[in-house]
Amino acid sequence: MKSNSKDECSEEWSAERVKMKPASNFPMKRLCNVGVSLLDCEHRTPKAVREGCPYIAIPNIKGGRLDLSDVRLISKKDFDSWTKKTKPKSGDIIITRRARVGDTAVIPRGLECAIGQNLVILRSDGSQVDQSYLRWALRGPIYEEQVRKFMNVGAVFDSLNCADIPKFEIPVPPLPEQRAIARILGTLDDKIELNRRMNETLEAIARAIFKSWFVDFDPVRAKAEGREPAGMDAETAALFPDSFEETEIWMVPKGWKLKSLDEMADFLNGLAMQKFPSEAEDFLPVVKIAELHRGNTIGSDRASSSIDSRYIIEDGDLLFSWSGSLEVCIWCGGKGALNQHLFKVTSTEYPMWFLYFWLKEHLPEFQLIAAGKATTMGHIQRYHLSEAIAAIPISPLIERVSAIIEPLIKLMIKNNLESRSLSSIRDALLPKLLLGEIQVRGTNKSVEDLPSKEKLVTC
């Protein structure tokens, strides 16, 4: 459905609404008056299949991009049916109309997909708004103000009407300036995305080593069969035994031990931070499940900075949400206060990477347990940590493998911290560029006077 009729866009702004409009040096125009069309989707959900075509749903919209790591797949027949009405194409902007109202993402080049319920597409004809600029005009405080104005607040979910979205106003600079703004912000965003992909690769490498050596025991099996273990030097291979021994639970490499997760580490549950409100300008952002999921503390609640230091988290800390959305992550969102429903996981005996990957190994099992809590918010209990078992090799082997895996983890943390810095630069530039407070060229407040592109992407 296209929603770009003149009638829908003829409403005059009241004096009260005019006062609320952001002051822009560029004309503010409604989407429907600048050649931007809204394309609606099928209002039903197709059956999922094991192999097929991507079907984009609200959970796949994250941070201005599509996260396809757990995307639903649908059959070719359903794909053809769902895209008959609206076929997404590269550069289209997807907007969520329900739940996380107003979140946006861009269809990347080369992706063929269908979009799900409560999502719509915005597509410009290019006459007044460049599609690459539209992506940025639909982010940041100016856009968020538009979402708040038109949002329908519901008892369960907030929502946006399809008829209202084309009424959103955006700043409309000249087309050459639009493209320059998109290029500047896109350069920063592309570097952030590159870091994310690099971290996916680094973690996949580290986890493959961990799983092969400490879960599947591939080097031990190779030596037991008289073969040389693959992918390691002789000194590392010598630290693996060549046989297994039986325990009460399962067969383990000879000389290794079995321990439960709560024997390996301390799992510190956070505090109910509403009991420790900030009473001064010096405060700590509260890290809850939502912050863990986002990876930052933007807009977080505030807690007193005088809380017990054990509940203060720093970059590089290992966190585990045991309730709601169960996740394990190495935190890189800055100093914060640990809220309840999150564990800070520490150990004086084992390196962080070893704990991280063992938690990752047991995470699917924990998620199944949590999903079975039909009458309460899904969670696990401490005794589940006692039942989760890990194989523990001899200390020299852990130290040897640390020399391989720790540099990968440190590089992941470095990339995440760099991306956080780049995100701050991007988010600070975004409203200034859209409002014309910083010009792309021509004045002493231009982007040309900012750090060079190279400096921006390596800070």
Tell me what pLDDT residue 309 has: 96
Tell me what pLDDT residue 456 has: 39
Residue 183 lies in a domain: no
Q: Are residues 26 and 158 in the same domain?
A: yes
39: Cα separation from own chain's centroid: 26
pTM reported for the whole predicted model: 0.85
| Boundary of a domain, candidates 340, 375, 392 | 392
| Boundary of a domain, candidates 365, 392, 419 | 392
Query: In sequence order, what are the residues at sequence separation of 6 or more whose Cβ sits closer than 8 angstroms to the Cβ of residue 327?
Result: 289, 292, 293, 320, 321, 363
Cα distance between residue 385 and residue 380, in whole Å: 8
Q: Indicate which CATH number applies to the domain containing 351.
A: 3.90.220.20
DSSP-assigned states of every residue in 130-186? -HHHHHHHTSHHHHHHHHHHHPBP-SS--B--TTTGGG-EEE---HHHHHHHHHHHH
Cα distance between residue 355 and residue 151, in whole Å: 43
Residue 112 lies in a domain: yes
Q: Are residues 24 and 150 in the same domain?
A: yes
Provide the domain count of the chain: 2
Tell me what pLDDT residue 248 has: 84
Residue 402 lies in a domain: no
| Residue 278 identity (one-letter amino acid) | S
Tell me what pLDDT residue 43 has: 87
Could you tell me the mean pLDDT of each successive run of 10 residues in the chain, 459 residues long?
46 35 79 97 91 95 88 96 92 94 95 94 98 96 94 88 96 96 96 96 98 98 96 95 92 96 98 90 92 91 95 98 93 97 97 98 94 76 96 97 98 98 95 89 48 38
Task: For the chain, state the CA radius of gyration.
Answer: 26
186: Cα separation from own chain's centroid: 18
Residue 189 lies in a domain: no
Residue 28 lies in a domain: yes
Q: Are residues 283 and 385 in the same domain?
A: yes
Residue 219 lies in a domain: no
Q: What are the φ and ψ backbone dihedral angles of 368, each rounded to 5 degrees? A: -65, -40
Residue 275 lies in a domain: yes
The two three-digit tokens of residue 87, written as one number: 């076929």
Q: Are residues 29 and 165 in the same domain?
A: yes
Question: Which residue range forms the structural domain that includes residue 355?
Answer: 262-392
Q: Are residues 165 and 312 in the same domain?
A: no
Residue 432 lies in a domain: no
